[in-house]
């Protein structure tokens, strides 16, 4: 069929297989263009590896470190009338490129929150890694819902302010129109559910399961991803329901770091990453507007990064730099260091305060936000004839 982007409420519900493959290839080519990262990593497990930072992590690990990678993701294949999810095509494309380049990989389509999935991954890992242990574990799961198997309760995450109603500005990145944004405050159930879905509980369950199965190697590194952000998004992000989940994730990191040091001389870290375009960031109020301004400022300074540049820098400058891993006072790795640089944030805030409907296009690079978002679904890629029939 001819596959076109179909977008409802800023959510793209189609994906182009050839375009997704092209985007994976672009990221692979970036890592190939960089120096190899020196490490002893042979085997890596990436939980949530089909898009965004998880996919970029897998590509950087496979092509930057030369490691075998096993991925876990919860994606849907195509039907007769509907395309597969972008992550499904990303997984297939990565495997095709890896096979061509002689890199071993394995994709598992599982709901990573389930205990049965953890058991399945452990079983498969023992075979795939040929009895060797996992040197690097990446936890990059992002999901809207999670079921507590012990009670059968379904928890849904939400993105709401805490304490008082939020009123501010946002943008429709497709039409480039400024919007008035109003969000009612969270209740206790909203906070509890968001922490349950997006906090550190499942990361700890995975880590404990792998430790108990004796699958984590001595000196293994275990990394989960977080975000802090600037003042202008703080009310709906870091000081809202998602922020509570991130606080919980970072608290769990301290527990896991201690546990891994005691059991395998390993370490667990949270990496605080830069704001990038993701399927979720596109629907978070105020965030597309902030990102559009941020991208313009960082591009002008020559320090703009996407997911793949961030993940290569994580490996090359942070985790495997030949010395100590640089962390902040909370033992977090800071990949948002360029985003939160004083000169960057001053320019972003100055631009934010000058915003009007008339100067939006010159202040915010919404075209780049839109292109990144479309690329994520396999659209707007160079060299792809989107008028042609394609096998979905």
Active site residue ranges:
237
Strands (E), 48-115: 68-73, 105-109
DSSP 264-297: HS-EEEEEEPPP---TTGGGSTTHHHHHHHHHHH
DSSP 168-221: EEEEETTTTEEEEEEEPPP-HHHHHHHHHHHSSHHHHHHHHHHHHTT-EEEEEE
Other Cβ atoms less than 10 A from the Cβ of 179: the count is: 15
End-to-end C-alpha distance for the chain, whole angstroms: 7
Alpha carbons 33 and 105: distance in angstroms, whole number: 21
Alpha carbons 143 and 80: distance in angstroms, whole number: 26
Alpha carbons 56 and 196: distance in angstroms, whole number: 25
The SS3 assignment for 74 reads coil
For residues 267-300, one letter each, b for 16 or more C-beta atoms within 10 angstroms of the residue's C-beta and e for the rest, the string is: bbbbbbbbbbbbbbbbebbbbbbbbbbbbbbbee
């Amino acid at each position: 069929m001819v596959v076109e982007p179909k977008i409802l409420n800023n959510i793209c519900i189609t994906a182009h297989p050839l375009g997704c493959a092209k985007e994976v290839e672009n990221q692979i080519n970036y890592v190939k263009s960089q120096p190899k990262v020196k490490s002893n990593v042979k085997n890596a497990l990436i939980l949530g590896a089909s898009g965004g930072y998880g996919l970029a992590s897998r590509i950087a690990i496979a092509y930057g470190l030369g490691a075998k990678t096993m991925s876990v993701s919860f994606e849907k294949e195509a039907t007769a009338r509907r395309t597969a999810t972008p992550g499904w095509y990303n997984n297939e494309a990565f495997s095709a490129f890896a096979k061509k380049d002689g890199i071993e990989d394995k994709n598992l389509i599982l709901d990573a929150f389930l205990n049965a999935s953890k058991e399945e991954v452990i079983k498969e890992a023992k075979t795939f890694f040929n009895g060797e242990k996992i040197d690097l574990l990446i936890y990059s799961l992002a999901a809207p819902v999670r079921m507590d198997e012990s009670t059968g309760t379904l928890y849904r995450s939400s993105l709401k302010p805490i304490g008082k109603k939020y009123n501010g500005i946002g943008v429709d990145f497709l039409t480039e129109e400024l919007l008035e944004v109003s969000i009612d405050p969270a209740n206790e159930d909203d906070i509890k559910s968001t922490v349950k879905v997006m906090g550190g509980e499942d990361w700890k369950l995975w880590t404990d399961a792998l430790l108990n199965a004796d699958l984590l190697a001595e000196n293994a590194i275990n990394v989960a991803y977080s975000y802090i952000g600037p003042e202008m998004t703080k009310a709906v992000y870091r000081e809202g329901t998602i922020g509570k989940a991130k606080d919980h994730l970072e608290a769990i990191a301290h527990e896991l770091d201690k546990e891994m040091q005691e059991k395998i001389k390993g370490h667990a870290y949270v990496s605080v990453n830069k704001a990038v375009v993701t399927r979720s960031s596109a629907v978070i109020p105020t965030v597309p507007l902030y990102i559009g301004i941020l991208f313009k400022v960082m591009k002008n300074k020559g320090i703009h990064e996407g997911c793949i540049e961030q993940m290569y820098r994580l490996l090359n400058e942070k985790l495997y730099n030949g010395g100590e891993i640089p962390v902040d006072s909370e033992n977090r790795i800071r990949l948002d260091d360029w985003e939160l640089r004083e000169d960057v944030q001053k320019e972003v805030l100055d631009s934010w305060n000058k915003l009007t409907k008339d100067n939006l296009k010159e202040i915010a690079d919404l075209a780049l936000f839109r292109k990144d978002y479309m690329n994520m679904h396999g659209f707007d890629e160079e060299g792809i004839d989107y008028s042609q029939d394609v096998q979905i």
